[in-house]
Amino acid sequence: MKMKYFINLFVILFYFAGLTCSAGEEISIITNLSVPKGNVTRDVIKNIYSGKLAKWPDNQNIVLSIMEGTETHKEFLYTYVNKPEAQFTNTWRKKMFTGQRSYPKNFNNAQDLVDFVRNTKGAIGYVNTDEKTNGVNVFK
Amino acid sequence: MRKQFKYIIIIVLSFGILFSFQTAFAGNVDIHGFVSQGYLRSSDNNFLNDSNKGSFEFNEMGINFGYDTGSDVTVGAQLFARDLGDFGNDKVSVAWAFGDYKWKSWMGFRAGMMKFALGLYNTTRDIDSLRTTIILPQSVYNEWYRDVSQGTKGAQIYGHLSLGYAGLLDYTLQVSGTQVPIDSGTAKFFLDRNSTVTTLDAIDVDTTYGAALIWYTPLDGLLLGVSGFSTNAKYTVNNSTAVIDNPDFRESILSVEYTLNRLTLASECMYTTSRNNVYLLSNPSIILVDDERIQNTNYYFSGAYRFTDWFEGGLYYSKSEAFYNGTGPDNELKDICLSTRFDISPAMVFKLETHFMKGLFGVDPGTDGTRDDKWNLYAAKVSYTF
């Protein structure tokens, strides 16, 4: 009886697991000019923001930037990382509180993020496609 | 009271030193921390603290700082204090402190004080806000034995290996020394569960070797892990007249976790084994227990679902059994846990939880002096993170 109850619960949970929402923004990935363009693929972006990659293939340190709490951030996570915001935050807090990695650099607006990526070797970030992105590599 | 005042002074001074670091190193030092306060209440028995009458002796606090030198080296440390009944008593200790040299993606080196990469949650078990449930499944994350895998001093080699279409592999190899104080949870539990032991005079643990492998499989969201450690432990007991010797003490954990958008499923199985010898210290040829094999297998299954940005629910089934080959209610504990988590803000979490328990392993008599093998445990906790 108890097992049947748990199985039914899991089936319901699996159904809801597929439901998710997209805000509809178009996101561009940006990197510092020091990052070779061929290194940036969808799988690589996902692994970087999931905390699985810490270095580019040329051994440069990967420096992450984010805009937590914004719709751009949510759309980026939906499009490229396939994680809800809370899960992303948890993943990076785990790394931070165990001393493995620093928390990604957080910015309140896109221009500050772009400036940071432009001026930081190995940096990667994301912005709405409409933003000005001079001096960085852009991937759409 | 004096001890608590001393600890408060240490924490305040630590803040002062850390803020000085922040100024001196021009913003390259990251400072973060957490504070959690919980409450436990059980319908019968006492578990973890004086839960039968309700207890607030259930809190953790920590502060960590990390300094990135700008090259491939980072240095960091975390101070931690907790209270859980007789364990911790808010004594400030170093949870971890190590230097980390990331030479390549596939190899880095750490040295200092660190935790064993054991199972899915050992390295993060101090921080309540990083998980759905208040109490981790005791089958694998036993609160009494946590000293053995926390705050060990040694070195690690670690790395991430790309397997192409086969996914990613994370590995950690560790060698360290473990000191288990005789006033630790491990020691107290050892005394409680061994009726022939009247005093515990020393715990000696040899060099410990550990390893962990996590395979991020090609199926998105599925990871498989195996981790474990091996050591030798000796307990000097009964006013240093006898020795309980556990050579070849090995613990291994198989882990699986599957994340599908808002749903996370996890299961772990821990197998512990050791040889057990008991002899007189004054004359080791007088053997009281000769090469007995002791072992146990503990496991849990869990699921968690984030319904909204602010609400998450979870449940698990956990089965623990005693290490010393016992059977019956005294030597096992089955736990069905239902948990709710409310993210009040990005920095604050509130949780409520119910445990339906069957068994008496690790359970003390309640306020009426008796133990009931079917009982419930209720928990509430609030956590702040910065």
B164-216: pLDDT as tens digits: 899 999 999 999 998 888 877 788 777 776 777 888 888 899 999 999 999 99
Assign B22 a pLDDT band (cuts: 50, 70, 90): very low
Q: What is the interface size between A and B, counted as CB pairs within 8 Å?
A: 103
B28-58: pLDDT as tens digits: 788 999 999 999 999 999 999 999 999 999 9
CA distances from B10 to B59, B65, B86, B352 (A): 18, 16, 22, 32
Among candidates B301, B226, B224, which has minimal Cα distance to B265?
B301
Q: Give the 3-state secondary structure of residue A5.
A: helix
Q: Sign of the C-alpha dihedral, residues B323, B327, B330, B334? A: positive
If one compares B358 and B184, the residue with the highest pLDDT of the two is B358
User: Which among A20, A84, A99 has CB closest to B76?
Assistant: A99
If one compares A9 and B314, the residue with the highest pLDDT of the two is B314
A22-35: pLDDT as tens digits: 556 799 999 999 99
Q: How far apart are CA A96 and CA B340, in angstroms?
A: 25
Asked if the model's pLDDT at residue B336 lies above 60, the reply is yes
Tokens found for residue B45: 């028995």
Q: How far apart are CA A33 and CA A114, in angstroms?
A: 12
Say yes or no: B167 contacts chain A, CB-CB below 8 A.
Answer: no
Q: How far apart are CA B382 and CA B118, in angstroms?
A: 26
pLDDT at A17: 47
Q: What's the whole-number mean pLDDT along residues B230-256?
A: 90
User: Which among A47, A59, A102 has CB closest to B104?
Assistant: A59
pLDDT at A79: 92
pLDDT at A7: 56
Say yes or no: A12 contacts chain B, CB-CB below 8 A.
Answer: no
Range from B85-89, B125-129, B309-313 carrying the lowest mean pLDDT:
B85-89
pLDDT at B5: 52
Q: Which regions in chain A score pLDDT beneath 50? A: 17-20
- Neighboring chain B residues of A89 at a CB cutoff of 8 Å: 346
ipTM of predicted complex: 0.84
Percentage, residues of chain B above pLDDT 90:
63
Within 8 A by CB and 6+ apart from B64, the residues are A96, A97, A99, B31, B32, B33, B76, B77, B78, B79, B95
Residue type, B166: A
pLDDT at A18: 47
pTM score of the predicted model: 0.87
For all residues of chain B together, what is the average pLDDT?
Answer: 88
Say yes or no: B348 contacts chain A, CB-CB below 8 A.
Answer: no
Q: In what order do the strands lie in the sheet with A105-106?
A: A105-106, A63-66, A123-128, A27-31, A137-139
Whether A86 sits inside 8 A of B114 (CB atoms) is: no
Query: For residues B226-265, b (16+ Cβ closer than 10 Å) or e, as one string?
Result: ebbbbbbbbbbbbeeebbbbbeebebbbbbbbbbbbbbbb
Residue located via tokens 């001074």: B13
Task: Specify whether the CB–CB gap between A86 and A46 falls below 8 A.
Answer: no
Q: Which domains occur in chain B, in start order?
A: 2-385 (2.40.160.10)
Q: What's the whole-number mean pLDDT along residues B6-25?
A: 50
Task: Specify whether the CB–CB gap between B108 and B100 falls below 8 A.
Answer: yes
Beta strand extents in B132-197 (DSSP E only): 152-162, 168-177
Assign B26 a pLDDT band (cuts: 50, 70, 90): very low
B262-276: pLDDT as tens digits: 999 999 999 999 888
Q: Give the 3-state secondary structure of residue A18.
A: coil
pLDDT at B283: 77
The arrangement of secondary structure in A25-139, i.e. its CATH architecture, is 3-Layer(aba) Sandwich (3.40)
Q: How far apart are CA B258 and CA B110, in angstroms?
A: 29
Secondary structure tally for chain B: helices H, strands E: 2, 17
Q: How far apart are CA B10 and CA B12, in angstroms?
A: 6
Q: Please tell me the distance in Å from B44's CA to the nearest CA on chain A.
A: 23
Assign B4 a pLDDT band (cuts: 50, 70, 90): low
- Neighboring chain A residues of B77 at a CB cutoff of 8 Å: 99
Task: Specify whether the CB–CB gap between A75 and A106 falls below 8 A.
Answer: no
Burial of A20: CB neighbours in 10 Å, binned 0-12, 13-18, 19+: exposed
Q: How far apart are CA B15 and CA B61, in angstroms?
A: 13
CA distances from B117 to B88, B125, B180, B212, B347 (A): 22, 11, 18, 6, 26
Query: Residue A31's Cα: distance from chain center in Å?
Result: 13
- Neighboring chain B residues of A98 at a CB cutoff of 8 Å: 96, 115, 123-124
Tokens found for residue B349: 């979490």
pLDDT at A2: 58
If one compares B10 and B284, the residue with the highest pLDDT of the two is B284
